[in-house]
Structure 1
Amino acid sequence: MLSRLSEWFWNERLWFPEGLGWADLEDRDGFTYAKAADLWVTLPIALCFLIIRQIFERTVALRLAAALGVKEKVRVRAAHNPTLETYFSNTTKHPTQSEIETLGKKTECTERQIHRWFRRRRNQDRPNQLKKFKEASWRFTFYLLAFIAGLAALIDKPWLYKMEEMWNGFPMLTLLPSQYWYYMIELGFYISLLFSVASDVKRKDFKEQILHHVATILLISFSWCVNYIRAGTLIMLVHDTADHLLESAKMFNYAGWRKTCNYIFIIFAMVFIITRLVIFPFWILHCTWVYPVTVYPPFFGYYFFNGLLFVLQCLHIFWAVLILRMAIKFLPANNIVEDERSDREETDSEDEEEEKEKRAPTKNGPVQNGHPPLNNNHHRKGK
């Protein structure tokens, strides 16, 4: 059964235009071509990345954090309370007003004490600034080096300037050493990100991040197996162009360097829009979707490859919306850029302000049902 499945999966009619096949990718006359077996090397590379990351975050990242003034904030831990802990773990982390009243009867605590306990307990599960900074500095380092290496590998290649050249001679495209290592290292890195996603900072776009990593791994692997390596190197370079700018903006954000963060974020937003919403769809995607059918009839691999590219493009649009939201928030008042995907840490002072607002009269009379109206000051604090 596995043999039949393998035979069907590697069917030449699925992955190549009519008249071409795996035999065309056999090494000959001193020329080397990409092979599916080469991808096994990405697993030890991914493992090496996981090890290097741990060493980097505990040494280089910590020193860099100290140099930029990033400190691990000491949080007030929630007092031990088995009843509240059980409710927090098994029922909800955000109890309603009626649930808080019920818990107050069970624990003989005031509503304010229960509010504060849940807030402190939620903060305990949130990653601190130092952890976020170390993750961002690791990704910044890789993306910057990958961008420089990718640019060096492609700067003298004709398909960087005339994208139709990526299909010249397909599928007999000779594999260059620079292309080999660019592919293996990029794929190994994304596999390591997929392995570490469970321990990384959880963000609101967690599912989209998983989808992005899986689509990227499939795209890089597939383009390697069927020798779409020229298109693959261009796609990787386009993605690496903006990523290191975002991670550097995050680093300065966590360090509290507001103006530096804002300036870098503006540059990142422009580069992201240009590369992901202009160059990627109107140059690269156009060349992989429109141009090939002028050379050979469409086949399954053609649709599969472009399908993955369209998934990436949808994610680009999704993240572009988040980027524009952040830009709109910080540009008018020159405030610090906040990551739309992260939860804001709660403070004890918030509960005290809410209590004052509940007791304070308004133009329309007392606040009803314990829900204070939103005013400008309170709204700004919630950003």
Structure 2
Amino acid sequence: MLRTVSDWFWWDRLWLPGNVTWSDLQDRDGRVYAKAADLWVTLPLALLFMVIRQIFEIWVATPLARLLGVKDQTRLKVPPRPVLENFYTTTSKRPKPADVDALCKKTGCSVRQVERWFRRRRNQDRPSLLKKFREASWRFTFYLLAFFAGLAALIDKPWFYNLKDMWKGFPVLVLLPSQYWYYMIELGFYWSLLFSVASDIKRKDFKEQIVHHIATIVLISLSWCVNFIRAGTLIMLVHDSSDYFLESAKIFNYAGWKKTCNAIFIVFAAVFIITRLVIFPFWILHCTVVYPLSIYPPFFVYYFFNGLLMVLQLLHLFWAALILRMAHKFMTGKVRHASGLLGNLAALRMAARIAVLEFSLLSYIYIF
């Protein structure tokens, strides 16, 4: 039964153009092609990333935080109250009025004392500024290095300058070592984020973070399996080009450098608009939708892949509207700094990936 399911899932007509089969993508004569089995290497890479992250946060991010003057506020510890602590950990961190009355009867405390205890207990659990700084520093470092590594891997390729070349010879495209490592490193990093989500700062969108990481892994893995690697590397490069500006704005926000945070946010907004609203739709998306039709008849993955990209572009427009609105407030002096928006931007990025994943699942169900 499992073999039947596997054969159906990897059916040639589902993944490849009409006259191509998986046998055409078998390694031969020194030519290597992308294979789904290659993705297993991303799991040990993820563990390596987790080790590197711990070393980085201790030996790089922490001294940098001290250099920039990142200091945590001293927080008062709540007095030990077993009944309240048990309710806090097992039931709710924000008790309802009826729960407060019940807790008052059990502990002999007044309503005000119970409410104050829960407020201080929540404040005690808030992640430290240093922890936020270290996480942002690690993500900034990865996104920055990933962007320049991707740029180095693509800058000498003909399809970097003439996007039509990304489909030359498709789907029988020989895998280059630079493409292999670019994909494996990106996937390994997102696996590491998924593995460490339990120990990272738990925000209100904890569940959405998990879905976000899974969606990213699914989307990158899909483009690898169907040999859309040239298009995939360009898309990853476009998206990496603005992420490190966002993380650096967070770093300076945590350090209290509000003017620097504002300036970097404006740069982030400009890079985002250029890459997501100009380069992505008018160059990359146009090339993935229009040009392939002159090479081969459309098949399922053609619709599937471009459907994901179109939905992603709609979400880019929504995100850009939010960024432009904040930039307008900067210019008119209605806001003093960008720190209040940074969390919303991260949440919107997660919402974009979640929507793409939902759309992909609905597309698959609709067609079959």
Partners in 1 of 2:342 and 2:141 — Cα distance?
A: 21
2:339 equivalent in structure 1: 338
Once the two structures are TM-superposed, the CA of residue 339 in structure 1 deviates from its matched residue by 4.3
1:176 equivalent in structure 2: 176
Once the two structures are TM-superposed, the CA of residue 206 in structure 1 deviates from its matched residue by 4.1
Partners in 2 of 1:339 and 1:45 — Cα distance?
A: 34
Q: Any idea what the Cα deviations from partners look like across 1:252-300, whole Å, max 9, x if unmatched?
A: 0001011001100111122123222332233322322333233222212
For 1:197, what is the secondary structure of its paired residue?
Answer: coil
Q: Any idea what the Cα deviations from partners look like across 1:111-155, whole Å, max 9, x if unmatched?
A: 433332111111122211111111100011111011111111111
Once the two structures are TM-superposed, the CA of residue 337 in structure 1 deviates from its matched residue by 2.2
Q: Is the 8 A contact 1:49 1:189 kept in 2?
A: yes
Partners in 2 of 1:100 and 1:21 — Cα distance?
A: 66
Matches within 5 A, 1:136-147: 136-147=136-147
Which has the higher mean CA deviation after the structures are superposed, 141-150 or 292-301? 292-301
For 1:244, what is the secondary structure of its paired residue?
Answer: helix
The normalised TM-score by structure 1 is 0.81
2:36 equivalent in structure 1: 36
1:133 equivalent in structure 2: 133
Q: Any idea what the Cα deviations from partners look like across 1:278-332, whole Å, max 9, x if unmatched?
A: 3223332232233323322221222332344345445545644654565466552
Check 1:52–1:119 CA distance in 2 against 1; reply closer, same or farther (3 A cut): same
Q: Which amino acid aligns with 2:276?
A: R
For 1:27, what is the secondary structure of its paired residue?
Answer: coil
Aligned residues: 343
1:279 equivalent in structure 2: 279
Matches within 5 A, 1:252-267: 252-267=252-267
Check 1:131–1:51 CA distance in 2 against 1; reply closer, same or farther (3 A cut): same
Check 1:325–1:212 CA distance in 2 against 1; reply closer, same or farther (3 A cut): farther
Which has the higher mean CA deviation after the structures are superposed, 204-213 or 166-175? 204-213
1:220 equivalent in structure 2: 220
Matches within 5 A, 1:353-368: none
Q: Which amino acid aligns with 2:339?
A: E
Q: Is the 8 A contact 1:277 1:317 kept in 2?
A: yes
Does 2:62 align with 1:62? yes
Partners in 2 of 1:7 and 1:240 — Cα distance?
A: 35
Asked which structure has the greater CA Rg, the reply is 1
Q: Which amino acid aligns with 1:173?
A: L
Partners in 2 of 1:97 and 1:321 — Cα distance?
A: 39
Once the two structures are TM-superposed, the CA of residue 85 in structure 1 deviates from its matched residue by 2.3
Partners in 2 of 1:214 and 1:123 — Cα distance?
A: 30
Check 1:100–1:342 CA distance in 2 against 1; reply closer, same or farther (3 A cut): farther
Q: Which amino acid aligns with 1:93?
A: K
Give unmatched runs, 5+ long, in structure 2: 345-368
Which has the higher mean CA deviation after the structures are superposed, 14-23 or 284-293? 284-293
Which has the higher mean CA deviation after the structures are superposed, 7-16 or 320-329? 320-329
Give unmatched runs, 5+ long, in structure 1: 344-383
Structure with the larger helix share = 2
Check 1:313–1:165 CA distance in 2 against 1; reply closer, same or farther (3 A cut): same
For 2:17, what is the secondary structure of its paired residue?
Answer: coil
Once the two structures are TM-superposed, the CA of residue 341 in structure 1 deviates from its matched residue by 6.8
For 1:69, what is the secondary structure of its paired residue?
Answer: coil
Partners in 1 of 2:94 and 2:169 — Cα distance?
A: 60
Partners in 2 of 1:211 and 1:298 — Cα distance?
A: 30
2:87 equivalent in structure 1: 87
Give aligned-pair identity as a percent.
Answer: 69
Partners in 1 of 2:18 and 2:261 — Cα distance?
A: 52
Q: Is the 8 A contact 2:61 2:134 kept in 1?
A: yes
Check 1:41–1:236 CA distance in 2 against 1; reply closer, same or farther (3 A cut): same
Partners in 2 of 1:329 and 1:108 — Cα distance?
A: 50
Q: Is the 8 A contact 1:127 1:201 kept in 2?
A: yes
Partners in 1 of 2:102 and 2:33 — Cα distance?
A: 69
Once the two structures are TM-superposed, the CA of residue 342 in structure 1 deviates from its matched residue by 5.0
Partners in 1 of 2:9 and 2:318 — Cα distance?
A: 32
1:116 equivalent in structure 2: 116
Partners in 1 of 2:132 and 2:56 — Cα distance?
A: 14
